[in-house]
Amino acid sequence: MEESRSASRPASRMSDRETARLHQLISLHPTNVAYRRRLLCHYYAHKRFAEALAEADMILEIEPDQYHHRYGRALCLQALGHTELALKEYQKILLLDPEESFSCEAIGDIYREQGRLEEAHRYWQRALQIREAYLLADGADLSQSQIVIQLQRKLGTVPDGPDLFLANEQEHFCD
């Protein structure tokens, strides 16, 4: 028991130091979106979703028309259980960039949770088409694409299999 407690302390202190460092950078450069995004991602990674959402809102005040900032906000809203607000954010993203497949997939996931399976499938299909088009343009092998397989599983077009290492939504908006 003592071993696990001491193992978690350094990670917590490191998190506190990183938070303080990012706050210091932001105090020196309050409109620097890169620093604010790093703080947003830091909060999100540590499941401090309310703080991440506040940071996402600050970022959107600086750059309101950037869809990837809205994606971070939508993820925070969803993590906080504000599903309808998250859904509206994802829909705003699609108005800014109709080819944003991660938002299509997220809308499909929300619709599935709400029992709206036909709509979920429609959005997953759209996400799949967008991703396949981009991957084919890059010369990728679709049969080996984990991101395509993930959507095909949701659509039920390929059987479930062993879990794949898949990029999560945090990696999408924090890269």
Convert the pLDDT of each residue in 38-59 to its tens digit. 999 999 999 999 999 999 999 9
Tokens (6 digits) for 153: 């599983």
pLDDT band at 62 (very low <50, low <70, confident <90, very high): very high
Asked whether the predicted pLDDT for residue 4 surpasses 50, the reply is no
- Whole-angstrom Cα distance, residue 33 to residue 155? 36
Residue 14 has what pLDDT?
A: 55
Q: What structural domains and CATH numbers belong to the chain?
A: 1-64 (1.25.40), 85-175 (1.25.40.10)
Average pLDDT over residues 80-107: 96
Residue 118 has what pLDDT?
A: 97
Q: Which residue in this structure is represented by tokens 């029992």? A: 115
pLDDT band at 145 (very low <50, low <70, confident <90, very high): confident
The answer to whether the beta carbons of residues 151 and 131 sit under 8 Å apart is yes
Phi, psi of 135, deg, nearest 5: -65, -40
Nearest to 120 by CA among 132, 128, 129, 112: 112
- Whole-angstrom Cα distance, residue 70 to residue 103? 10
Residue 56 has what pLDDT?
A: 97
Q: What is the pLDDT of residues 101-125, one digit of tens each?
A: 999 999 999 999 999 999 999 999 9
Average pLDDT over residues 93-104: 95
pTM: 0.81
